[in-house]
């Protein structure tokens, strides 16, 4: 009951803020629409790993998603490793909106991930998702989006996204040719590293190898 109430409250809030924002063009949201959609790989960075077993090929596909029930500015993300589309590591929906504090991002987590495998090529499956098919990320895990020249930086707030005596230190940088993704779990007690996404590369560089129209 708590989760359902919180979910409905969030989407109600998001729909209000995005409806207000939709009346005006926002340079950050415009840049997201221009830069974010596409297919990304870390092949160039991987070539410097010298055969490390801790490094692996990672492909990320991001597509604009139309699903007004979940938000006004959505992107579907599907990620797989080792150049194997069946080896899916992550499926998310990025929900962006603008409020009084600026542009923010929340990760929406589909509860039935397997049913969405390959949906980047068949977005109708993601377009049919409803509130009941989504689990919100943890409280405090929203990212603030800032702009530096033509680059965008999305980052979680310090110590805000906490889980099991750790906190998630996550930063996504979007530039003209690709992304940097820096993900780590740090201990709440002293900020020391507990884990990273790919030990060979604490920050993963993925170059955009294909684009799609927003």
65 against 21, higher pLDDT: 65
d(CA 92, CA 76): 6
d(CA 85, CA 184): 25
CA geometry: angle at 15 spanning 11 and 20, to 5°? 155
pLDDT at residue 213, rounded to an integer: 56
> Does residue 212 carry a pLDDT above 80?
no
Over residues 93-117, the mean pLDDT reads: 95
Residue ranges with strand state E in the chain: 38-41, 58-65, 73-81, 88-99, 102-110, 134-136, 143-148, 151-156, 162-163, 166-174, 178-187, 193-196, 203-211
What CATH number is given to the structural domain containing 109? 2.40.128.590
pLDDT at residue 137, rounded to an integer: 82
- Return phi, psi of residue 53, to 5°: -70, -15
pLDDT at residue 163, rounded to an integer: 84
pLDDT at residue 10, rounded to an integer: 61
pLDDT at residue 120, rounded to an integer: 96
Residue ranges with strand state E in 117-192: 134-136, 143-148, 151-156, 162-163, 166-174, 178-187
Q: Residue 121 CB: number of other CB atoms within 10 A?
A: 10
CA dihedral 80, 174, 109, 1 (to 10 degrees): 170
Q: Residue 72 CB: number of other CB atoms within 10 A?
A: 19
Domain assignment of residue 123, given as a range: 2-211
pLDDT at residue 138, rounded to an integer: 77
Which string of DSSP letters, residue by residue, matches 37-55? -EEEE-HHHHTTSTT-TT-
pLDDT digits (tens, 9 = 90+) for 51-68: 777 899 999 999 999 999
Segment among 2-6, 154-158, 167-171 with least mean pLDDT = 2-6
pLDDT at residue 171, rounded to an integer: 95
Q: Are 211 and 37 in contact (CB under 8 A)?
A: yes
Over residues 20-25, the mean pLDDT reads: 52
Over residues 15-43, the mean pLDDT reads: 78
> Does residue 110 carry a pLDDT above 60?
yes
Give the single-character DSSP code of 137.
Answer: P
How many structural domains are present in the chain? 1
């Amino acid at each position: 009951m708590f989760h359902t109430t919180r979910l409905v409250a969030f989407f109600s809030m998001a729909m209000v803020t995005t409806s207000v924002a939709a009346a005006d063009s926002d340079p950050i949201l415009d840049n997201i629409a221009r830069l974010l959609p596409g297919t990304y790989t870390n092949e160039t960075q991987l070539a410097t790993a010298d055969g490390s077993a801790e490094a692996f090929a990672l492909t990320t596909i991001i597509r604009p998603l139309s699903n007004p029930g979940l938000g006004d500015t959505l992107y579907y993300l599907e990620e797989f490793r080792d150049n194997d589309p069946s080896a899916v590591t992550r499926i998310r929906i990025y929900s962006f909106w603008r409020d009084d504090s600026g542009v923010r991002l929340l990760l929406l987590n589909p509860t039935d991930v397997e049913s969405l495998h390959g949906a980047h090529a068949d977005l109708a499956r993601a377009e049919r998702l409803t509130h009941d098919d989504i689990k919100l990320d943890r409280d405090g895990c929203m990212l603030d989006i800032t702009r530096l020249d033509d680059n965008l930086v999305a980052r979680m707030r310090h110590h805000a996204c906490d889980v099991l005596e750790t906190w998630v230190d996550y930063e996504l940088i979007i530039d003209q040719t690709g992304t940097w993704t820096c993900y780590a779990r740090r201990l709440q007690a002293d900020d020391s590293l507990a884990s990273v996404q790919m030990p060979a590369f604490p920050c993963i560089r993925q170059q955009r190898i294909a684009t799609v129209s927003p």
